[in-house]
Copies of this chain bind each other. A is one copy, B any other.
Amino acid sequence: MSVAIIGGTGDEGFGLAVRLGRAGEHVVIGSRSDERGRAAAEKASGIAGASAKIEGASNETAAAGSDLVLVTVPFAGQAEIYRSIKDALRPGAVVCDATSPLASAVGRSAWQVLTPWEGSAAEQAKAILSPTARLVSGFHTISAEALHEYERPMAGDVLLCGADADAKAAVGVLVDKIPDLRWVDAGALSMARIIERLTALMIGVNRVYGIREAGVRMLGRDAWGRPPAKE
């Protein structure tokens, strides 16, 4: 089974492609153009090592070929990208949206945010896809800068939210393949209204301290991942 990374030529998506490729996942980098997808895949393979299986394709082809689709695109283009892959997605595919509605989409600062009509970028994605789409929101607190330091383990937690517990766990399996990331189930998809904004908070803290890799770690449990079954 392959993982599609829509917008995999961008910083976050490319970093995830290399990290997941190196972890043994079959990755397909999607891009608006087939050639750019293939060029990015070649570059990512070069970094990830000879055993990594990373291919490139158009976003539509990448989406059509996978049961697990990560969407890592800037907010300004998010709606258009979802409209473009909507019909290509397999029934039952898990779609993980990593979009943060940063105000840089409209020429303001990246430590400020917009409020999408549906409340969050993830809910905007859900509104564009079919109502049965298995949408998860996540990866907003993971620094692209840190992802690109490929020899260093990552730090920090990926907060996942969405209605479908199995879909969250499927994305969580990917998170667990990237040392030393952990995943936390943060509840319903609407929690993305809070979690997506953390990207802007990290960017703001980076700016205040003149650093580049602010991140966030949850306290309160030694291990997170799939929550215990409710009694």
B200 touches A194 (CB 8 A): yes
B211-A221 in contact (CB<8A): yes
A196, closest chain B residue (CB): B194
Instruction: Indicate how many identical chains form the complex.
Output: 2
A156: which of B112, B186, B204, B219 is its contact (CB, 8 Å)?
B219
Tell me whether A117 is interfacial, beta carbon within 8 Å.
Answer: no
Per-residue CB contact flags for chain A residues 192-212 toward chain B (1 = under 8 Å, else 0) read 011101101100111111111
Chain B residue with the shortest CB-CB distance to A207: B187
Complex: chain B residue closest to A214, CB-CB: B220
Whether the pair B187, A210 counts as a contact (CB closer than 8 A) is no
Interface range for A: 35 or more
Q: Is A185 an interface residue (CB 8 A)?
A: yes
Q: Is the CB of A186 within 8 A of B208?
A: yes
A100 to chain B, nearest CB (A): 11
Interface centre among A198, A200, A218 (most CB of B within 10 A): A218
Q: How far is the CB of A225 from chain B (nearest CB, A)?
A: 10
Residue of B194, B201, B213, B218 near A191 (CB, 8 A) is: B201
Which B residues touch A191, using CB under 8 A? Answer: 111, 201, 204
Chain B residue contacts of A221, Cβ below 8 A: 209, 211, 214
User: Chain B: which residue is nearest A115 at the CB level?
Assistant: B115
In whole angstroms, what is the CA distance A227 to B207 when docked?
A: 10
Name the B residues within 8 Å of A184 (CB-CB).
Answer: 205
A37 within 8 A of B: no
Contact residue among B113, B190, B219, B224 (Cβ-Cβ distance under 8 Å from A217): B219
Does A155 make an interface contact (CB < 8 A)? yes
**A219: which of B111, B207, B213 is its contact (CB, 8 Å)?**
B213
